Structure 1
Amino acid sequence: MKKLTLVATAVMGLLSTTAAMAQSTVTLYGLLDGGYNHVSGLRQGSVNTIASGIMEGSRFGLRGTEDIGGGYKAIFTLENRFELDTGSVTNRPNSGAQLPDRLSNAALMGLPGAVQPVLNAVGASIGSTVGVNIAGNLFDRQAFAGLITPVGAFTFGRQYTPGYLTSATFDATQTQSSLAMGQIATFPPSVDIRLSNTVQYGIQMSGVTATLMYGAGEVAGDNAKGRFYGGMAMYKGTGFSVGVGHNTRNNELGQKSLTDTVLGATVNVGPGTVYGQYAKIKDDNPTGLSTIAATVTPSVGAATAALIQNAYINGFKQDANLMHIGYRLTRGVHTVVVAYNRLDDKRPNNADTASYGATYTYALSKRTNLNAVLTRFNNKGLGQAAPGGNGFLGGVTSTAGTDSTNIAFGIRHTF
């Protein structure tokens, strides 16, 4: 799949494609992706499933544009995710509600063993939220409307964030399969992929694509709570491209939370393209943990409850470097990607993970292809990541330091 497939309905894609559209159009589009998925190293052993989203998450959507004259176009996108194997709009990882040992074991969290039953209850509550679109929203992937003007595009709604678009552009896999860079940093999430309640401005000219995004926390009486800012700029030249993206979001208390800065580049080498990127991930005030103490105080008392909440906050903090290098080669009906990814955790947990492998795509036609994936996850220290796919999370392996292998075969069809 070409790079712009991933972001075709985002601002950068709209700016480059709408000029060729008719005066008023509504397009139904979609993607069906599923197949066999094998993952080793899980608590239940090796797991073999039929999965949706081996390479890309299955979806369908509506995209519309109306030329209203004077260089202005009204646009909208509504995009729904679904599971090809079940028809559901949600999914859970193979490891279910299991949390990494560093977030569920009293000793590793620096707490007395007597509070383990309380941790089990808290962990089950947190673990129940791990998955994709657990709320079951109809248009969870994208839902926005906007206006393209002579000075850029303005869009409002649920959209991809600038930091994520930058990372996706400079990933040799285009975020496809378990070999994608983000797969080794899904819990806690290393980047906000999409956000609701956002307004975005985008512009594209002379090889430069840039966006600015603001996300409203929409908390009455305190605009800082949940607020988001992001921006990115990319330049595509002859045989190379470079880019930078930045996201930062506040937690429910208005404190600065998950922040990412991504630097990426590509260069044509031989018959293919080398991709590389570096991301700095920082989160000193994780989101959604401020009520733990109040919840467990009746069971353990206020003093111990505060210790438990602080232990979870420390466990969910992030300070890591995420790196990717890959090579993508397309020749006729064949596309091969090889890549290496590394998450270097700077926290005392030292939850390091590296992944490497290859994917192969054979194009049966312009819209249908067959895919094969082989990815190895190496977990060190308290690292415990398991491989997933573009459409689903991998979860965690059986214990800290346990490695995992993913073998997958699938078919993908676009319409």
Structure 2
Amino acid sequence: MKKSLLALAALGAFAGAAHAQSSVTLYGIIDAGFAYNNNSNGQKLYAMNSGNLQGSRWGLRGTEDLGGGLKAIFVLENGFNVFNGQLGQGGDMFGRQAYVGLGSTQFGTVTLGRQYDSVVDYTGAFEVGSQWASYFGAHPGDLDNMNNSNRVNNAIKYTSANYAGFTFGGLYSLGGQAGQFNRNQIWSVGLGYSQGPLQLGAGYLNVKDPNYSFFGNNATSRAATTTPSASNMSSRVYSGFASAKTQQVISAGGAYTFGAATIGATYSNTQFKDVNNEAGAGLNPAGYTGGSGKFHNAEINFKYQLTPALLLGVAYDYTKGYGLTDAKYHQGMLGADYFLSKRTDVYIDGIYQHASGTDSTNRTAVANINGLSPSTTSNQVAAVVGIRHKF
């Protein structure tokens, strides 16, 4: 009897220790505002808008200490629209992130699930659409995915530990198509450096069959097996290239902080290769017989912490098409963000875009600010004012 009581006491102590070394955290962001668009398919639009500076979300993050510097980790993150409760990311329950893996303080982390690519991880933070300008301020159509419009399903991901300011990583996603190993395949690699006032990053992304594997990997997307002529690529910046076999992105970015000011810049080259590779007339509205739609994009941005509570920002972005398109997009952004506390802030942003040339649909280019319906003219203006709370 005495031995049994001692065993139970020891087991209880062990369970208590194990529990103390594990944790699960509930977290989230609620971002809501009022948005204005001066030309949405020819009409002015006034709308309540969710997830402007950051997508509204809630998530669970867990860790378990396995000893020897090794831990088990998981993240389940849901996106939603605060105004109507609808799921974000095309109807996925955990469409923002969902992964599990192992992390080592010495060797880095390996995770499996729905995750961010290396362009997002290593260069996305340098563009103002991911900072103070709202997703309207992302590069046109978020053509390089720096604003994280698209996640990667079925992904195996490695992220290194920090070595004297350097980090690196990579991701590989299996397409899961029987007899077609390369179909829907996605892979990416990236490198970052952060030391003192200087931050740098570079990323590479390669996507096979992007209309389905990248733009169409959500619950409500149009699948290749059921609707082969349906496009998941809505922005006119690149929607005419939905039949491309491959999307390739090369990106770089950096920022330098001096006192209360930070100056940053990004560059990306995005290519939709082998247009007319995917079957279906609906994927090739311009009737291309081959070739590639290509884009250079360059952004320069500046932000200033005027007071401990008030941040001001200004940025300019230029996109130049070549190959199957010669469209040009000039975009300017202004913004202010006032922090009422560490967790709550109010903001206002304005975005102006001017387009010229011929776009991916082989028609006269019109302005098409990210996340909005296209203008009927070469110009478009958007503005948003809102509040964000983090918990």
CA contact (8 A) 1:327 1:338 kept: yes
C-alpha distance in 2 between matches for 1:342 and 1:292: 32
Residue 355 of structure 1 corresponds to: 331
| Superposition deviation, residue 412 in structure 1 | 0.4
Q: CA 1:406–1:377 in 2, change beyond 3 Å: closer, same or farther?
A: same
Please give the TM-score of this superposition, normalised by the length of structure 2. 0.78
Partner of 2:41: 43
Letter in 2 for 1:144: Y
Residue 286 (structure 2) aligned to one of 303, 306, 311: 311
The amino acid across from 2:152 in the alignment is L
Structure 1 pair 250–179 and aligned structure 2 pair: CA distance change class (3 A): closer
Counterpart AA for 1:327: F
Change (3 A) 1:189 1:210: closer
Give the structure 2 partner of residue 238 of structure 1. 196
In the alignment, the residues of structure 1 paired with residue 137 and residue 384 of structure 2 have an alpha-carbon distance, to the nearest angstrom, of 17
Q: 1:185 is matched with which residue?
A: 141
Q: Displacement of 1:315 after TM fit?
A: 9.7
Contact 2:137 2:351 in 1 (8 A): no
Q: How does 1:190-205 map to 2 (within 5 A)?
A: 193-203=150-160, 204-205=162-163
The structure 2 residue matched to 1:325, chosen from 300, 308, 311, is 300
Q: Using a 3 Å threshold, how does the CA distance of structure 1 residues 336 and 320 change in structure 2: closer, same or farther?
A: same
SS at match of 1:346: strand
2:124 corresponds to which residue? 168
Residue of structure 1 in register with 2:342 after alignment: 366
Q: Quote the residue 1:80 is aligned against.
A: 78
Aligned to 2:286, what secondary structure does the other structure show? helix
| Distance change (3 Å), C-alpha of 1:64 and 1:75 | same
Change (3 A) 1:310 1:193: closer
Amino acid at match of 2:176: E
Task: Give the whole-Å Cα distance in 1 for the aligned partners of 2:251 and 2:390.
Answer: 30
Distance 1:168 1:207, change over 3 A: same
Tell me which amino acid in the other structure corresponds to 1:138: M
Determine the C-alpha separation between the residues in 2 that align with 1:81 and 1:60. Answer: 7
Structure 1 match to 2:68: 70
Quote the Cα distance in structure 1 between the aligned partners of 2:245 and 2:290: 17
CA distance in 1, matches of 2:254, 2:385: 29
Higher RCO structure, 1 or 2 (CA under 8 Å, sep 6+): 1
Alpha-carbon contact 2:274-2:290 (below 8 Å) kept: no
Amino acid at match of 1:323: A
Aligned match of 2:58 in 60, 73, 78?
60
C-alpha contact 2:132 2:313 (8 A) present in aligned 1: no
Q: Is the 8 A contact 2:310 2:336 kept in 1?
A: yes
Structure 1 residues 241 and 186: alpha-carbon distance in aligned structure 2, compared to 1, 3 A threshold? closer
Contact kept in structure 1, 2:352 and 2:382, CA below 8 Å: yes
Instruction: Name the structure 1 match of 2:234.
Output: none
Amino acid at match of 1:344: K
Q: Please state if 1:276 is matched with 2:276.
A: no
Partner of 1:383: 365
Contact 2:129 2:139 in 1 (8 A): no
Which residue in 1 is equivalent to 2:279?
A: 291
CA RMSD of aligned residues (A): 2.8
2:287 and 2:311 map into 1 onto residues whose CA distance is 43
1:27 partner amino acid:
T
Amino acid of the structure 2 residue aligned with 1:33: D
Which amino acid is the alignment partner of residue 72 of structure 1? L
Query: What is the correspondence of 1:114-153 to structure 2 with a 5 Å cutoff?
Result: 133-134=89-90, 136-149=91-104, 150-153=106-109
Looking at structure 1, the residues matched to 299 and 180 of structure 2 have their Cα atoms a distance apart, in angstroms, of 38
Q: Kindly state the Cα deviation for residue 336 of structure 1 after the two structures are TM-superposed.
A: 1.3
Q: Which residue of 1 aligns with 2:231?
A: none
Q: What residue is the counterpart of 2:376 in the other structure?
A: 398
Amino acid at match of 1:405: V
- Choose the corresponding residue for 2:164, options 206, 212, 215: 206
Secondary structure at the counterpart of residue 340 of structure 1: strand
Structure 1: 5+ residue stretches without partners:
1-21, 91-132, 296-307
Matched AA of 1:142: Q
TM-score under structure 1 normalisation?
0.74
CA shift for structure 1 position 64? 0.5
Structure 1 Cα separation of the partners of residues 107 and 155 of structure 2:
19
